[in-house]
Amino acid sequence: MSDKVELVLPTSWEPERKEFLAALGISRGGLGEQFFGNVYDALFVSSIEVKGEFKKYYSVEYANLAEYLEIRYGKSLSEEDLEADRVFLVTWLPQVIEDMYEDNKLNTILECIKKIEEAQNEDQI
C-alpha cells in the first residue's frame, strides 16, 4: 500500500487552525475560512504525520526514519527536514494550492507557515 504524496511539509510548529487562519489574515466564518480551512485540513489533519507514525508503528521494523520514508513512501529528506518535530506527508491538495493552477497560493501558505514557525521559535528563546 502506497499513498501518493503530493507535498512533504517538515515543521516544528504545533499546527493550530486558529493561528494559521489569523496569520493569513482570514476572519472566522467567512468565505476565506472555507477555502483556507480546507488547506489547513489537507496539510495538517488529513495528512500523515510520518514521524509519529514511524515511532508508534514502524520503529522496530526500520533502522531509522530516513530508511522508512525511502522504502514506504519513496521520499528522501535532508537531515534538517528530518530533525523537524513533525513531518507531514500531504496526500491531497485543495484547488487553491494545487500547482496545476497558475494563480495558486501554495508559496504564500508555505511562507506563512515558515513565519509562524520562526515566531514560535523566537518566543521559546
The answer as to whether 81 is a domain residue is yes
- Residue 105 belongs to what domain range? 7-124
> Could you read off the pLDDT tens digit of each residue along the chain, which spans 125 residues?
346 899 999 999 988 999 999 999 998 888 889 889 999 999 999 999 999 999 999 999 999 999 999 999 999 999 999 999 999 999 999 999 988 888 889 999 999 999 998 888 776 65
Extract the C-alpha cell encoding 31: 468565505
Structural Rg of the chain based on CA atoms: 15
The answer as to whether 1 is a domain residue is no
How many domains are there within the chain?
1
pLDDT in tens, 23-59: 999 988 888 898 899 999 999 999 999 999 999 999 9
The answer as to whether 17 is a domain residue is yes
The answer as to whether 114 is a domain residue is yes
The answer as to whether 2 is a domain residue is no
Would you say 85 and 44 are in contact if contact means Cβ atoms under 8 Å apart?
no
